[in-house]
Structure 1
Amino acid sequence: MSDPLASLLGLLCLLQIKHMFADFYLQTPKMLSGRGEYLHAGRAQHAGVHVLGSIIAFVIMGAPVGFVLIICALEWVAHFNIDYCKACYSKRKELAPDMAVYWRAMGTDQALHQLTYLAMAAAWAHVSFG
Structure 2
Amino acid sequence: MVLLTVKHIIADFVLQNSWMAHGKDQKTGWALPLLTHCLIHLAVALPLILIVAPRFWFVAFIDFAIHITVDRAKGLVSANLGVNQEHPWFWTVIGVDQALHHLTGFGLSIFMAAN
TM-score, normalising length: structure 1: 0.76
Contact 1:44 1:80 in 2 (8 A): yes
Compute the displacement of 1:108 (Å).
Answer: 0.5
Distance in 1, Cα, partners of 2:30 & 2:75: 13
Partner of 1:58: 49
Contact 2:84 2:90 in 1 (8 A): yes
Secondary structure in 1 matching 2:89: helix
Partner of 2:90: 102
2:48 maps to 1:43: no
Compute the displacement of 1:77 (Å).
Answer: 1.1
Amino acid at match of 2:47: I
Partner of 2:64: 76
Amino acid at match of 2:86: D
Distance in 2, Cα, partners of 1:13 & 1:53: 14
Using a 3 Å threshold, how does the CA distance of structure 1 residues 25 and 41 change in structure 2: closer, same or farther? same
Secondary structure in 2 matching 1:100: coil
Compute the displacement of 1:113 (Å).
Answer: 0.5
The alignment covers a number of residue pairs equal to: 113
Compute the displacement of 1:98 (Å).
Answer: 3.3
Distance in 1, Cα, partners of 2:48 & 2:10: 13
Residues 61-85 of structure 1: CA deviation (Å, up to 9, x unaligned): 2x134x21x2111111110110001
Unpaired segments of 5 or more residues in structure 1?
Answer: 1-11
Distance in 1, Cα, partners of 2:107 & 2:29: 25
Contact 2:49 2:60 in 1 (8 A): no
- Structure 1, 48-57 or 82-91: larger mean CA deviation: 48-57
Higher alpha-carbon Rg: 1
Using a 3 Å threshold, how does the CA distance of structure 1 residues 119 and 43 change in structure 2: closer, same or farther? same
